């Protein structure tokens, strides 16, 4: 399954909001340096969808705020 994620790093609080069926907005307090925000986004999605972090990977958009994330079934 592929989902699109719009990331808002360096936010005041962490939250995830479902915009459409496969489109989410994730706010994280992590700063976008050395992959910290990406790592935190994966943790937030993992907790929200109740799946292990190992099943989630960023396919496209490592350095962008718009990311394409693959979730293994």
pLDDT, tens digit (0-9, with 9 covering 90-100), for 19-35: 999 999 999 999 999 99
Domain residue limits, the chain: 2-71
Does this model's pTM top 0.85? yes
pLDDT, tens digit (0-9, with 9 covering 90-100), for 1-58: 999 999 999 999 999 999 999 999 999 999 999 999 999 999 999 999 999 999 999 9
> Which CATH architecture best describes the domain 2-71?
2-Layer Sandwich (3.30)
Strand order in the sheet with 2-8: 15-20, 23-27, 2-8, 66-71, 56-60
* pLDDT of 73 over the 90 cut: no
Predicted pLDDT at 62? 94
Which residue is associated with the tokens 């190992």? 54
């Amino acid at each position: 399954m592929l989902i699109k994620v719009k990331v808002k790093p360096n936010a005041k609080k962490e939250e995830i909001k479902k915009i459409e069926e496969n489109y989410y907005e994730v706010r994280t307090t992590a700063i976008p340096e050395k992959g910290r925000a990406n790592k935190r986004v994966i943790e937030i999605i993992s907790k929200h969808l109740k799946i292990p972090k190992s099943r989630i990977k960023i396919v496209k958009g490592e350095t962008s705020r718009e990311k394409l994330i693959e979730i293994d079934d």
